[in-house]
Amino acid sequence: MWCRVLAIRVRFADGTAKELNVNGISIRELFKILNLLLEEYIVVVKSHVVTEDYIVKDGDELVLYPVVSGG
Amino acid sequence: MVNCSICGRPAVYIMKAGGKAYCEHHFLRYFDKKVRKTIRKYQMFREKEHIVIAVSGGKDSLALLHYLNKLSKRVPGWRISALLIDEGIQGYRDRTIKDFLRIVDELSIEYRIVSFKEEIGYTLDEIVKIGMDKGLPYLPCSYCGVFRRYLLNKAAREMGGSVLATAHNLDDIIQTYLLNIIQNNWDKIPKLAPASKGPFHPKFVRRVKPFYEILEKETTLYAILNNLYPEFIECPYAIHSVRWSIRRYINELEEKHPGTKYSLIRSLLNIIEILDKLGYGKDGVIGTCSICGEPSSNNVCRACMFKRELGILT
């Protein structure tokens, strides 16, 4: 079975970003890889809020908005 | 893809504890219904009110300001004002003030900014340094919390406010609840009630928390969907806080066992009832500080006690 490796970019609200090569996985699985809690972020792709079952696509830029307060 | 339980459009929010999902439109309806229910349930506002909203410039307080401003259009007897306390934290508060000013300007809301420097005589940065030089055992958040609460009440009263609304959400409340249990501060737990209870000191402005039963994830989503989410910036002092560890722990629990947060808030409401019966601390303090004349449950209020220890009491 052939699996294409996808390149995605995860951008955090503090301005930092990570480039990742992943198979077509869901945000739920991506968060496990990144050791993040779904409770603590809202994910936006192409200006749309998406839920944890969203399957990341090649070239996607995911913006992660922290739910936790900064102060 | 998960779809809205009501209309079938793509969901933006999954409410795991209730087994439902909502699209943007139905999430905003769900949010509105939930906040209105909280306001009614705890009798937070009367027909005629001057509501002063404590705003920091962060996402939750901007969401509260936006929400109550919108709601006030349907209640003719309500007047809305915003109050921001500028603690004087370099590189932090000066930046969140910009987001605050953007929103009050967009919504045409009257506001007041009160600074530690003008009212206390020193910025929080200066206070923290004085405290460290004197070897005082307090964390920056202790000074900040005490002086902020002191100034919020004083300024809200000076603005003619009949009630002070803060943006504490369900997550904030249960974190403080656990923090108080860990620190054995049972007298502080009744202060975590959704609305302060009387009898009130004549100088005390009643406080309410309209987001009391709203999850932080929901207030954040409301802020994003209404284009209110500010530049993300962390308070430089927050790293000292035990609250961060408690928050992570509760979020891990919620992820494994959805509904944990709602259980904790129910537990808190029960404990408050029990503590009330036992006569533990009340929020509507009826004593008067012998130094500054502000409401206090002790002979000298915490703000004046800190000032005295810091050597800045004038």
Closest CA in chain B for residue A71: B235
Instruction: Calculate the CA B285 to chain-centre distance.
Output: 18
- Give the closest-approach CA distance of A15 to chain B in angstroms: 9
- Give the closest-approach CA distance of B167 to chain A in angstroms: 11
- Give the closest-approach CA distance of A71 to chain B in angstroms: 5
Tell me how far apart the alpha carbons of residues B275 and B23 are, in angstroms, rounded to a whole number.
41
Q: State how far the alpha carbon of B30 is from the alpha carbons of A21, A42, A43, B165, in Å.
A: 37, 18, 20, 21
Residues in chain A within 8 Å Cβ distance of B216 = 67-69
What is this structure's pTM? 0.93
Amino acid type, A51: T
Chain A interface test: which of B55, B234, B244, B260 (most A C-beta within 10 Å): B234
Closest CA in chain B for residue A54: B1
Q: What is the ipTM of this complex?
A: 0.89
Residue A71 pLDDT more than 60? no
3-class SS of residue B33: helix
Q: Which of residues 44-103 of B touch A (CB under 8 A)?
A: 56, 58-60, 92
Closest CA in chain A for residue B171: A68
Rounded average pLDDT per 10-residue block, chain B, 314 residues:
95 94 98 98 97 94 97 96 95 86 95 97 96 94 94 98 98 96 92 89 96 97 94 76 88 96 98 89 75 92 97 90
The shortest CB-CB distance from A66 to any of B2, B232, B254 is to: B232
pLDDT in tens, A13-47: 777 888 888 878 999 999 999 999 999 999 999 99
Q: Which residues contact B7 (CB under 8 A, 6 or more apart)?
A: B23, B25, B26
Q: Which residues contact B43 (CB under 8 A, 6 or more apart)?
A: B195
